[in-house]
Structure 1
Amino acid sequence: MKSGFRWEATIIEDQFILKTKVYSNRQSLQYLKQIKGFRAFIVSDSIMESLGYLQQVVDYLSEAGISSTIFTGVRPDPDVALIADGLKLYRESGADVLVAIGGGSAIDSAKGILYFSWKFGSAEDEEIKKPLFIAIPSTSGTGSEVTDFSVITSVGEKVVVIDELIAPDIAILDSTCIQHVPQRVIADTGIDVLVHAIEAYVSTKATDFTDALAEKAIKLIFENLETLYKDPKNDDARDRVLNASCLAGMAFTNTGLGINHSLAHAIGGTFHLSHGRSNALLLNAVMEYNADLSGGACGSAAERYSKLAGVLQLPARTKREGAVNFMLAVKRLKKALGVEDHIRALGIDQAAFTNALEHMAETAALDRCTPTNPRQPSNDDLVQIFKKCF
C-alpha cells in the first residue's frame, strides 16, 4: 500500500466491499491540502491537540481553502452524552467535510456523530448531504479508518453500531502520527489488530479475499509488533504495524468478528478495562473454545488456526497440532508484550467479577459480533470462558 487506492468488488453469494480510499505513505497527512470543500468539522482529543497534530490538520485544510470547527471532547469509550455534545456542534457547523484524528475513540465518536445526524435528519425529513469523511488513526489497533463499525457506550454497556453510512471515504495512514504512543498502548492496540485478523479468518463469513488480508495482517504483527514494542522509534516496524491494523480492518468489516470481541465489550464496559487488553486476556481461552480442543479439535476453527500456524511456518501435521502451535505462538507474543496471565492481575475484585458474570455473558451473547463466531456459544459457555480467564 505505497499509494492511495480504491478497490470495490462484489461476489454473487459472498460479498467483499471496500469503499475507503487509503493513503499510507509517511507524511501523507499533507494530502489534506488537496481536499475539496468549504467547512470541516474535526473530531479529536486533547492529546492530539497537545502533540500538535490537530493544528497540522487545521493548517493543511486551511491551505485547501477549508475553514474548521473543532470538537476535542473525545474521551475513552465514548458514550451517548459525548456523541450528543458533538452532534449539536456538528449540525451547527454546516460542515461538508468530517475529519476524525485520534485513536479508535475519536473515530468511533465521529462515526456516532455522523450516524445520529443522518438518523435525526431523516426523521425530520431534512435534505441531508453526507459529508466527505476522512479518518486519520493515531494508534495501530482499531482499523476503524476503513470499517463500518462503531462502538458507543450506552448506560454503561458497549453497543456496536454497524452501518455502511459510517465507513470513512478516505483513510490517511501517516505513521508519524503514532510515534508518541506509549509502550502499553502499542501492546494493547497491536493485540487488538491480531484479534481482528484472527476473528476475521475464522468468521462464518470469511472469503478468499478476507483471508488474504487477515493472513497478511497476522504475519505483519508477528514480524513487527514485538520489535515496535521494544523500540518505539523503529520507523519501519511502526509502518508495518499500522498497515496491519488497516488490513485487519478491511477484513473484519466484511466478515464481522466473534465472541472475543463480544466478551471484551462486556467486560470492558463493566470494569472499564482497555479494549485491547481485554481482548488479549481473553484470546487464548476463546481460541481453545472455538477449536474445541477438549472435544477432539474437529471443527472448522481448529482447521483455520492450523492454517495460520502454516502461515507462521509452525509445525501443523494435524489440525490439532497446528492449532495448538498457533495458540502457543500467540501466548509467547503476549508474554513478550507484558500482557498479564489473568484478568485478576488487573486488580479486579473476585466477588465483583463473580456477581457480574451472568450479566456479562448475557450482554456478550446479544453482542452484534457473536453471530459470525465459528462456534455458537451458550450463555454458560461464555461464563466458563470468563471464569477460565479470571
Structure 2
Amino acid sequence: MESLGYLQQVVDYLNEAGISSTIFTGVRPDPDVALITEGLKLYRESGADVLIAIGGGSAIDSAKGILYFAWKLGSAPGEEIQKPLFIAIPSTSGTGSEVTDFSVITSNGEKVVVIDEFIAPDVAILDSTCIQHVPQRVIADTGIDVLVHAIEAYVSTNANDFSDALAEKAIKLIFENLEILYKDPKNDEARDRVLNASCLAGMAFTNTGLGINHSLAHAFGATFHISHGRSNALLLNAVMEYNADLSGSSADSAAERYAKLAGVLQLPTRTKREGTVNFMLAVKQLKKALGVEDHIRALGIDQAQFANGLEHMAETAMLDRCTPTNPRQPSKDDLMQILKKCF
C-alpha cells in the first residue's frame, strides 16, 4: 500500500481535512502477538481518535488485534475505553475482514481466532482500484476464500434468511466473475464484483460463524506456512463431502443446502445427492481454472512431515472457534481422515 501510493493518498485526504495522523507500517503476513505489541505501543502514544486499516486481511486483522488489546489492557474492571472510529479499506478481495468481528492472530505458532463485536469496523470503504495490482495467485487464493466464507455461512448451524441471501449472492458473483478476473486482472467490472462478493460473504459469516474448512485451514496453514486461501481451497471438496455424508445416506441438512446452491448456479438438482455432487464438481472445475493444486502433496510437502503433524493439526482444529457452527460435528479422527484425503 505504501509503495503503490495508496497510503499517501489516505494521508493526503486527512491532511486536507486538517487531521494529523501517525502511520504504522510494520504489518507482516499472519500477524503475531509481537507485531500487535509493536502497533499497540504506537497507537497508545498517538492518542488517536480514529483507526484506519488499509491493506489485505493481515493489515485489517492487525488493526483489530491492536484495538482488542488496547481495550482489554487499557480498561479497569467495570470500565470501558472509548472505541475509536474504525475504518477499514481492503486491498484484496478475500477476507471480508472489513465487515466482520473476526481476527486471526498467531500466538506461539498457532493461529488463534478472536471474535468480538468490539473489533468490528464502523466503516468499510470498497475501492477496487486498491486491488488492481494483486498477483494472479493472490486473486485465486483470496477469491476461493470468499467462496468458502459464503459456503460455510450457508451451511452453518446459525444460518438464517438474511445470511442466506448474502451468501447466495456472493457465491453467484464468484462463479460469474472470479475466473474472468483471474485471466484479466485489469477487468474493472469483474474486479468490482469480486470485491463486492468478498464483502457480502463477510457480512454473511460474521452473523453465522464458519466451519471446519476454516478450522482445518488455520491449523494446516500455520503448520506448513501455506496461505489461508490456498489452504481453504485444498480442503474444500473433502470438507463438503464429509459434511454432506456422501459415503452414507446424503440425508443430512448440509446435503440439502449444497443442493440449493447447485440450484442457485442453475445446475441439475433433481435430488439432494445429485445437487450436492454437481455443486462440488462446479467448485472443483473453478479451482482447476484458477490453477489450484489437486492435492496437498503437490505443494512439495513431505509425506513424513505431514504425517508427523497430522494429529496436532486435528487437535488444534477441534479447539478452533469455527468448529462449533459446522453442520456436522466431527471427531478428531474425522478431521484426521479429511486431512489425509486431501494429501
TM-score (norm 1): 0.87
1:223 equivalent to 2:181? Answer: no
Match of 1:69 in 2: 22
| Secondary structure of 1:285 counterpart | helix
How do 1:212-361 and structure 2 match up within 5 A?
A: 212-361=165-314
For residues 197 and 298 of structure 2, the distance between their equivalents in structure 1, rounded to whole angstroms, comes to 29
Partner amino acid, structure 1, of 2:152: E
After TM superposition, give the deviation of residue 123 of structure 1 in Å.
3.7
Which segment drifts farther, 136-145 or 64-73? 64-73
CA contact under 8 A between 2:71 and 2:80: conserved in structure 1?
no
For residue 145 of structure 1, the aligned residue among 98, 116, 129 is: 98
TM-score by length of 2: 0.99
Shift of residue 127, structure 1, vs aligned partner: 6.5
User: 1:200 maps to what in 2?
Assistant: 153
Matched, 1:54 2:23: no
Q: What is the one-letter code of the residue matched to 2:333?
A: D
Equivalent-residue separation in structure 2 for 1:67 and 1:306 (angstroms): 53
Q: In structure 1, what is the Cα distance between the partners aligned to 2:318 and 2:296?
A: 20
The AA in structure 2 aligned to 1:350 is Q
CA shift, 1:128, in A, is 2.3
Count of residues in correspondence between the two structures? 343
* Paired letter, 1:133: F
Distance in 2, matches of 1:111 and 1:61, equals 21
* Aligned partner of residue 27 in structure 2, secondary structure: coil
Give 1:61 shift: 1.1
Equivalent position SS for 1:295:
coil
In the alignment, residue 12 of structure 2 is paired with which amino acid?
D
Find out whether 1:81 has 2:18 as its counterpart.
no
Q: CA deviation at 1:129?
A: 1.3
- The within-5 A match list for 1:180-195 is 180-195=133-148
1:321 and 1:106, CA in 2 relative to 1: closer, same or farther beyond 3 A? same
What SS is found at the alignment partner of 1:153? Answer: strand
User: Could you tell me whether the CA contact under 8 Å between 2:152 and 2:205 is conserved in 1?
Assistant: yes
1:106-157 CA-to-partner distances (Å, cap 9, x unmatched) read 0000000000000001147877211000000000000000000000000000
1:234 alignment partner AA: N
Supply the distance in 2 between the matched residues of 1:355 and 1:127 (Cα, whole angstroms).
Answer: 45
Q: Which stretch has the larger CA shift, 122-131 or 288-297? A: 122-131
Identity %: 90
Task: For structure 1, list consecutive stretches of 5 or more residues without a partner in the other structure.
Answer: 1-47
Alignment partners' CA distance in 2, 1:124 and 1:81: 25
4+ runs deviating over 4 angstroms: 124-127
Counterpart for residue 115 of structure 2: 162
- Structure 1 distance, partners of 2:78, 2:239, is 45
Counterpart secondary structure, 1:76: coil
How far is the alpha carbon of 1:237 from its aligned partner? Answer: 0.1
Can you give the 5+ residue segments of structure 2 that lack an aligned partner in the other structure? none
**C-alpha separation in 2, matches of 1:303 and 1:125:** 46
The residue type equivalent to 1:135 in the other structure is A
Q: Which residue of 2 is the match for residue 133 of structure 1?
A: 86
| Local SS of the residue matching 1:49 | coil
Deviation at 1:347, TM superposition (A): 1.0
Q: What SS is found at the alignment partner of 1:70? A: coil
1:368 aligned to 299, 321, 324, which one?
321
Secondary structure at the aligned position of 1:99 is classed as strand
Give the deviation of 1:320 after TM superposition. Answer: 0.1
SS of 1:101 mapped into structure 2: strand
Take 1:124 and 1:208, find their aligned partners in 2: how far apart are those partners? Answer: 38
Work out the CA distance in 2 between the residues paired with 1:127 and 1:321.
53
What is the alpha-carbon root mean square deviation over aligned residues?
Answer: 0.9
Q: Is the 8 A contact 2:88 2:98 kept in 1?
A: yes
Greater fraction strand = 1
User: Does 2:60 correspond to 1:107?
Assistant: yes
Measured at CA, do residues 125 and 294 of structure 1 come closer, stay the same or move farther in structure 2, by a change above 3 Å?
closer
Q: Once structures 1 and 2 are overlaid, which stretch shifts more, 122-131 or 214-223?
A: 122-131
SS in 2 for 1:160: strand
The secondary structure found in structure 1 opposite 2:170 is: helix
Return the alpha-carbon distance in structure 2 between the equivalents of residues 127 and 326 of structure 1.
47
